[in-house]
């Protein structure tokens, strides 16, 4: 499998590249642990060090160099002459040449890669296992291959930085997937072209044409458009319009309360609200006239409130906004700093379930010394307390990072801001909550009847707070109501008809906005906050003290403008469609590649079809050689040649097959006197005489080699020869001396060619004559020689044939253990072999001898 090394015991040099320095270090630590650790040295870039250690990959001794990039190594931009804003019509940006290049601040990393890869044999890419990671893999590959085109390039696929996973991935390397990388290239190019064209267009069109007095004098205004920022603006504008268009409507409802010695209960009308005043008054008066309430139903049940799922990035941002009013952008900045300092795990993750390998107890153990939540952590670890519960699985896994959790204890660092303290505390409390029992409450609901109208009240007593003790961001309302018995009657303390007006929904909060983006696939967990911030920077929206967003006049004007044109550029569908379409192209290409590989595997079918219409050429060029080496029908089917079709063939499938012994057949211009305008099928046409030439050895001695005949049915010579030699056609059932068996996988029938050769002329096969079928492991040579050339014509060893096949992919993989070919021995002792011409698998004839063998 692996190549390029110097072989034997001498180690080869392997360059390993990770997506970020922390991963490079972790992987180096894991892989070098058994060999006594790694050496570390500086690279050209001060962030990206190089780690060195020895390791063995599949028996090959390797000297490993492990370094990293920092995300994308390259950027995409237009060619120089299109970069200036006035250099071209923005419409030209849809065709302008673009190029990928390593920007200035990444040149140091590029130099490290170039220098290190020069001396290496292999390159192993340890990028994140997502489409962006695959794209970065090719950026690294391009840089390295430019200085060393002998590199053998591999991709390590891993989903977590844990020992087992990393060792497994390096022992099972795969090739990088260009199609996935191309999908990202396509998305990047689309983003650039539409972003730049619309941005230049609307900026140059509008900026100086209006008095935009909300701007600072010195601020250079850009009216940007982007496929993520505009839909984000769209969410804000749409909610704003919903509020604007809301028309308050008056409604009425009846409320009832009952105060007794052991508390007060507030009953709600089970009709909810009525928008008709007269109706409400009539019902209310009925109640007032007969105000005695009768208890109809009392329900008491235990309710559980579950702790949240393990923490993903979007949840972190939403909850930080909700609980502390910290903006998503600030949250990510602070979380990044906490991560850099080692206090929390990687903050950009979609994963909301812990891997079974995570030592959750150890994480809790670290926190027992904290003065606020330490005692709770201690109780969690105490089996007697019965507080522990394995975390729920939120159902998302980005296969790259675990949920956000604390990685180091801190009682607060001196350089931490309030936000650092809040976020660290939140991450810890969230984690502790995840491994805790749900809160338990006792819920009571009471239904009463007053003059035929139903009312209900409910109360809840918390029996056990459990996770809520440490997760005090969430509350679980606990009002207690008096005890009631069914049938009990009482006079309400108050019974009122109250009016109200409907209210519009609130403006979108940051948490709502993140939810909308997450739901519609706008941006990624790592970029959503950027898009929100961009709207504020561009003066498209504002955020109030309650973290609620309103569009500015500018933002609303842009949306109205495009909406008026009929373009929903501000709706989320465009972005979703781009993402799904580029992935679809990638999927389609992958599908077609699989289809191609399968078609190549089954090329015998194409030969079969071609042979119906054409004679095989004798040109055995390289291409042909390689095409035919695994396909027996190609070589052994020379005798299946002639048929005469309807003038409408192949639309009309009516054909007449000629004797198998035919070596030449030429249609003459003479019309048969007997058959004339013979009705061959629905398509009437004249029947022309045919000049035949038969192979001497294949026809009885009393027949002529040259024969002018008619296929219309009047020619007794042709009828005789077909009777004697067969036609060679696999779908003419009247032929004699032919044998077909059905593949037990695909059901296709396959004629055994031996039946039509000179040696078998006139021989009748019967199932009984094939009872002695034996299976052997010989390859197609057997069939080829049996079919045409005579045995032993071109024998290859079964080992080499087997190796040829293993190179192919598809359904035959994993069948190596099955006898590769089948040899049937007839009663006379002659072997005949066959393999399915549809699916190509010889093993599919395994049961043919008993079940599907037919003699025609």
Treating both helix axes as pointing N-terminal to C-terminal, what angle do 374-381 and 418-434 enclose, rounded to 10 degrees? 20
Identify the H or E element spanning 550: strand 548-551
Q: Quick one: which of 387, 382, 401, 550 has its CA closest to 468?
A: 387
Q: How far is the CB of 339 from DNA (least distance, A)?
A: 8
Residue closer to DNA (CB basis): 525 or 841: 525
> For residues 91-110, b (16+ Cβ closer than 10 Å) or e, as one string?
eebeebebebebeeebebbb
Using CB under 7 A, which of 162, 221, 671, 681 touches DNA? 221
Of 169, 199, 727, 778, the residue at the interface with DNA (CB under 7 A) is 199
- Pairwise CA distance, residues 365 & 368, whole Å: 6
Least distance from C-beta 524 to DNA, angstroms? 4
Only one of the segments 200-208, 323-331, 427-435, 705-713 lies at the binding site for DNA (rule: CB under 7 A); that segment is 200-208
Query: Known catalytic residue: 47?
Result: no
Window contacting DNA (CB under 7 A); options: 65-73, 507-515, 658-666, 817-825: 65-73
Smallest gap from residue 242 Cβ to DNA (A): 23
- In contact, 756 and 728? CB cutoff 8 Å: yes
CA-based nearest residue to 783, from 742, 832, 849, 818: 832
Q: How far is CA 82 from the centre of its chain?
A: 36
Instruction: Report the sign of the C-alpha dihedral through residues 112, 113, 115, 116, in that order.
Output: positive
Closer to DNA by Cβ: residue 39 or 83? 83
Which letter, b or e, does each residue of 733-759 get, where b requires 16 or more Cβ atoms within 10 Å of its Cβ? eebbbbbbbbbbeeebbbbbbbbbbee
Q: φ, ψ for residue 410 (rounded to 5)?
A: -150, 140
Residue of 37, 39, 42, 47 that binds DNA (CB under 7 A): 47
Q: Among residue numbers 150 through 189, which ones bind DNA (CB under 7 A)? A: 188
Give how far Cα 587 sits from Cα of 109, 399, 640, 695, 786, Å.
Answer: 32, 20, 40, 53, 43
Q: Which residues contact 105 (CB under 8 A, 6 or more apart)?
A: none
Judged by CB under 7 A, the residue of 128, 518, 556, 841 near DNA is 128
Q: Which of 82, 346, 376, 484 is catalytic?
A: 346
Site for DNA in 501-560 (CB under 7 A): 523-524, 526-527, 531, 534
Residue among 510, 577, 516 nearest 544 (CA): 510
Among 104, 220, 702, 706, binds DNA (CB under 7 A): 220
- Phi, psi torsion values for 823, nearest 5 degrees: -115, 120
State the nearest-atom distance from the C-beta of 569 to DNA, in Å: 11
Cβ 131 to DNA, closest distance in Å? 8
Kindly state the tokens that stand for 8: 């034997």
Q: Which of 43, 195, 787, 840 binds DNA (CB under 7 A)?
A: 195
Nearest approach in angstroms of CB 85 to DNA is 3
Q: Which is nearer to DNA, 137 or 293 (CB)?
A: 137
Nearest approach, Cβ of residue 814 and DNA (Å)? 36
Could you say which of 52, 54, 191, 563 contacts DNA (CB under 7 A)?
A: 191
Name the one range near DNA by CB under 7 A: 217-225, 303-311, 470-478, 769-777.
217-225
Provide DSSP, 370-385. Answer: -TTTHHHHHHHH-GGG
Binding mask 224-263 for DNA (x = CB under 7 A): xxxxxxx---------------------------------
Contact between 82 and 89 (Cβ < 8 Å): no
Q: Per rule CB under 7 A, is residue 313 in the interface with DNA?
A: no
How many residues form the binding site for DNA (CB under 7 A)?
52
* Stretch binding DNA (CB under 7 A), from 219-227, 235-243, 264-272, 844-852: 219-227
Residues 67-126 that bind DNA (CB under 7 A): 69-72, 75-78, 83-86, 105-106, 109
Instruction: Report in angstroms how near the CB of residue 416 gets to DNA at its nearest.
Output: 17
Rounded to the nearest whole angstrom, what is the least distance from the CB of residue 104 to DNA in the complex?
11
Using the CB atoms, write b or e for 609-619: b if 16+ within 10 Å: eebbeeebeee
Return the structure tokens found at 467. Answer: 């996770």
Closest CA to 251 of 501, 453, 497: 501
- Binding residues for DNA, rule: CB under 7 A, are 19-22, 47, 69-72, 75-78, 83-86, 105-106, 109, 128, 130, 132, 188, 191-192, 195-196, 199-200, 203-204, 207, 220-222, 224-230, 336, 340, 348, 523-524, 526-527, 531, 534
Q: Which residues are catalytic?
A: 346
């Amino acid at each position: 499998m692996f190549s390029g090394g110097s072989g034997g015991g001498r180690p080869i040099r392997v360059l390993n590249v990770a997506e970020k320095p922390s991963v490079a270090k972790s992987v180096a630590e894991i892989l070098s642990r058994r060999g006594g650790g790694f050496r570390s040295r500086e690279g050209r870039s001060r962030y990206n060090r190089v780690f060195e250690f020895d390791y063995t990959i599949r028996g090959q001794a390797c000297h490993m160099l492990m370094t990293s990039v920092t995300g994308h190594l390259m950027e995409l931009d237009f060619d120089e002459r299109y970069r200036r804003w006035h250099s071209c019509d923005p419409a030209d940006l849809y065709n302008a040449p673009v190029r990928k290049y390593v920007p200035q601040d990444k040149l140091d990393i590029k130099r490290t890669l170039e220098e290190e890869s020069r001396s290496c044999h292999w390159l192993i890419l340890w990028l994140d296992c997502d489409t962006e990671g695959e794209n970065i893999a090719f950026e690294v590959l391009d840089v390295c291959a430019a200085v060393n085109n002998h590199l053998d390039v591999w991709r390590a696929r891993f989903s977590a930085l844990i020992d087992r996973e990393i060792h497994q991935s390096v022992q099972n390397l795969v090739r990088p997937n260009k199609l996935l990388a191309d999908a990202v290239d396509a998305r990047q190019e689309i983003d650039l072209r539409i972003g730049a064209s619309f941005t230049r267009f609307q900026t140059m069109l509008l900026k100086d044409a209006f008095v935009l007095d909300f701007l600072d004098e010195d601020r250079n205004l850009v009216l940007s458009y982007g496929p993520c920022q505009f839909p984000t603006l769209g969410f804000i504008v749409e909610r704003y319009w919903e509020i604007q268009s809301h028309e308050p409507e008056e409604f009425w409802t009846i409320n009832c309360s009952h105060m007794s010695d052991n508390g007060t209960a507030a009953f709600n009308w089970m009709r909810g609200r009525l928008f008709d005043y007269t109706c409400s008054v009539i019902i209310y008066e009925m109640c007032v006239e007969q105000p005695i309430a009768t208890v109809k139903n009392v329900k008491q049940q235990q309710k559980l409130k579950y702790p949240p799922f393990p923490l993903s990035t979007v949840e972190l941002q939403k909850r930080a906004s909700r609980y502390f009013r910290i903006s998503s952008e600030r949250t990510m900045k602070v979380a990044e700093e906490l991560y850099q300092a080692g206090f929390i795990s990687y903050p950009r993750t979609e994963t909301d379930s812990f891997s079974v390998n995570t030592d959750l107890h150890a994480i809790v153990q670290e926190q027992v010394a904290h003065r606020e939540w330490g005692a709770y952590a201690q109780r969690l670890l105490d089996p007697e307390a019965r507080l522990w519960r394995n975390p729920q699985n939120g159902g998302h896994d980005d296969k790259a990072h675990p949920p956000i959790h604390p990685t180091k204890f801190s009682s607060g660092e001196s350089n931490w801001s309030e936000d650092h303290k809040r976020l660290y505390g939140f991450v810890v409390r969230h984690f502790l909550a995840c491994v805790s029992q749900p809160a338990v409450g006792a819920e009571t609901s009471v239904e009463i009847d007053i003059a035929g109208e139903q009312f209900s009240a409910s109360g809840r007593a918390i029996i056990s707070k459990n996770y809520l003790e440490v997760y005090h961001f969430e509350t679980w309302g606990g009002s207690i109501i008096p005890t009631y018995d069914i049938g009990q009657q009482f006079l309400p303390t108050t019974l009122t008809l109250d009016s109200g007006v409907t209210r519009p929904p609130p403006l979108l909060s940051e948490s709502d906005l993140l939810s909308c983006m997450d739901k519609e696939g706008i941006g990624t967990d790592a970029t959503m906050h950027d898009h929100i911030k961009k709207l504020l920077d561009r003066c498209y929206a504002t955020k109030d003290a309650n973290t609620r967003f309103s569009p500015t006049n500018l933002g609303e004007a842009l949306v109205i403008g495009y909406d008026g044109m009929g373009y929903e550029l501000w709706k989320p569908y465009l972005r979703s469609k781009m993402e799904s379409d580029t992935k679809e192209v990638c999927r389609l290409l992958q599908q077609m590649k699989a289809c191609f590989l399968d078609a190549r595997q089954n090329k015998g079918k194409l030969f079969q079809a071609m042979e119906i219409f054409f004679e095989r050429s004798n040109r055995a060029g390289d291409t042909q050689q390689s095409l035919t080496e695994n396909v027996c029908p190609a070589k052994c089917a020379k005798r299946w040649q002639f048929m005469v079709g309807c003038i409408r063939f192949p639309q009309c499938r009516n054909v007449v097959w000629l004797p198998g012994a035919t070596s030449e057949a030429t249609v003459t211009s003479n019309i048969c006197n007997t058959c004339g305008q013979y009705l061959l099928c629905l398509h009437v046409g004249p029947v022309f005489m045919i000049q035949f030439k038969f192979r001497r050895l294949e026809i009885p001695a009393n027949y002529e080699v040259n024969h002018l005949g008619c296929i219309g049915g009047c020619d007794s010579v042709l009828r005789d020869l077909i009777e004697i030699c067969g036609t060679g056609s696999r779908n003419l059932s009247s032929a004699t001396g032919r044998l077909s068996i059905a593949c037990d996988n695909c059901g296709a029938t396959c004629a055994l060619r031996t039946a039509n050769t000179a040696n078998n002329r006139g021989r009748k096969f019967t199932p009984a004559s094939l009872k002695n079928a034996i299976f052997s492991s010989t390859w197609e040579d057997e069939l080829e020689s049996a079919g045409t050339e005579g045995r032993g014509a071109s024998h290859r060893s079964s080992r080499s044939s087997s190796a040829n096949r293993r190179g192919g992919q598809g359904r035959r993989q994993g069948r190596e253990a099955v006898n590769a070919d089948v040899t049937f021995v007839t009663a006379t002792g002659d072997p005949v072999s066959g393999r399915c011409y549809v699916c190509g698998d010889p093993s599919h004839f395994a049961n043919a001898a008993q079940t599907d063998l037919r003699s025609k």
